[in-house]
Structure 1
Amino acid sequence: MLLSLAVMMMQKPVVGATTEALHGAAMQGDTAAIQQLLAAGVDIEARDAQGRTALLRATRANQVAAATLLIEAGADVNAKDNIEDSPYLYAGAQGFNDILRLTLAHGADLQSTNRYGGTALIPAAEKGHPETVQLLLDAGVAVDHVNRLGWTALLEAIVLSQGGPVHQRIVQMLIQGGADVNVADGDGVTPLQHAQRRGYTEIVALLQAAGAR
């Protein structure tokens, strides 16, 4: 893919090669146009009015082929927009695992945080993406990181869920990943207390088996 990009760079410039065109191609997954625009000299890191790069636009649209091309061409997987989303953080939060794997393989900053002060693991747990949770745990994202709301991934998997099978699985994964089941929220309420108050019987059992108080 990089070889084909190099070949394109020896060809004549593309008429109308602009940042807007690159972003549009990224959103649409038009890899041929992306190659041509990069070959014409469009800055791969150029931002739109919201501070988003072409890679973030491709990520938001879950355009895997476009994201792959941009990442292999050197796009920054940690470049944040005006609301502190990056391709890595957004892919993690939305469960876009193909793109997430690419970002993890190309320098994703595991300590980077979103506008809520949370790692990618926290929204992945809250939104119910178990495969994503496991990818991030395996990558080494801190399981007990606390965001600005005072919540860990474990707390969000309880407080912001309906306690169903998917979140039960995520709670188990977090426990197996080393989560401290007794880290309380900013008001001193523990994961076990939150689960008990909501009547999440299965999660209560998981927490108690792990030593929750």
Structure 2
Amino acid sequence: MCTKTAALVVLLGLLAGCSTAATSPTSAATTPEAPSSTAASDATPGPASSSPAVVAPTPLSPEAQMETDRLLILAAKANDPARVRELIAAGGNVNAKDAIQDSAFLYAGAEGFNEVLQLTLDAGADVRSINRYGGTALIPASEHGHTDTVRILIAAGVPVDHVNNLGWTAMQEAILLNNGGPNQQDVVRQLLAAGADPDIRDPEGRTALQNAERLGFTEIVALIRNR
């Protein structure tokens, strides 16, 4: 009897212990883990990095600008594209003019220096600028029969009907101041295709057609008549 009673007491004790263990959660299960300071630091974005400042080219002094422009015009007149490129990069102004009103752009256009001309156009040449005769670059280029130059200048937007101080357009000069040969014919053809007006009269009251007829330039006469 004593043995049975003792066994019962032990059994009841074991059952009480199991109940306590099931209903008492561990501190690890009930206490949330605080984030570490390292994790918090990693989650916080840092300040945005600033981009390096863009430094503008240092402008030339007035004296340096004048000298660079002078050298640029000389390089253009020497038909030296490499030097022209260097001087443009150094700040040379392709629209600056010398004492006889030549700029790098105007001179290159008049003389058919096409590589130099293209460099000046790429550098922002003023296609409406005029020379000492009041003419655009297209007028002497047409006079001289520089067919590729005429093509470049027309494409760049030089006005085709500008009248210079002598009262002549590019077409009039192409007819009046040359021999009416193949180059002049090509120039007149290009000007007509670009919309040039052959009916603008010179100071004598003659149109381009009348001047071509008077000079016996039959091919140019046909081009104008058949435009």
TM-score, scaled to structure 1: 0.75
Measured after TM superposition, the shift of residue 173 of structure 1 is 0.5
Decide which of 21, 45, 67 is 2:84's aligned counterpart: 67
For 2:201 and 2:154, the matched residues in 1 are separated by 20
- Pairing 1:120–2:140 present: no
- Pairing 1:183–2:200 present: yes
Decide which of 129, 139, 142 is 2:159's aligned counterpart: 142
Aligned to 1:45: 65
Deviations 1:33-74 (A, max 9, x none): xxxxxxxx99553349xxx70000001100110001111222
For 2:207 and 2:104, the matched residues in 1 are separated by 32
User: Percent identical across equivalent pairs?
Assistant: 54
Deviations 1:171-195 (A, max 9, x none): 0001011101111112210000100
- Pairing 1:90–2:107 present: yes
- Size of the aligned set, in residue pairs, is 167
Aligned to 2:215: 198
- Pairing 1:111–2:128 present: yes
Decide which of 159, 167, 170 is 2:184's aligned counterpart: 167
Gaps spanning 5+ residues in structure 1: where? 1-40
TM-score, scaled to structure 2: 0.71
For 2:180 and 2:64, the matched residues in 1 are separated by 42
Deviations 1:85-128 (A, max 9, x none): 00000000000000100111111011110000000000000011
Gaps spanning 5+ residues in structure 2: where? 1-60
Which amino acid counterpart does residue 65 of structure 2 have in structure 1? Answer: E
* Conserved 8 A contact 1:144-1:152: yes
Which amino acid counterpart does residue 118 of structure 2 have in structure 1? Answer: R
Which amino acid counterpart does residue 130 of structure 1 have in structure 2? Answer: T
* Conserved 8 A contact 2:111-2:141: yes
For 2:220 and 2:213, the matched residues in 1 are separated by 9
Higher alpha-carbon Rg: 2
Which amino acid counterpart does residue 165 of structure 1 have in structure 2? Answer: P
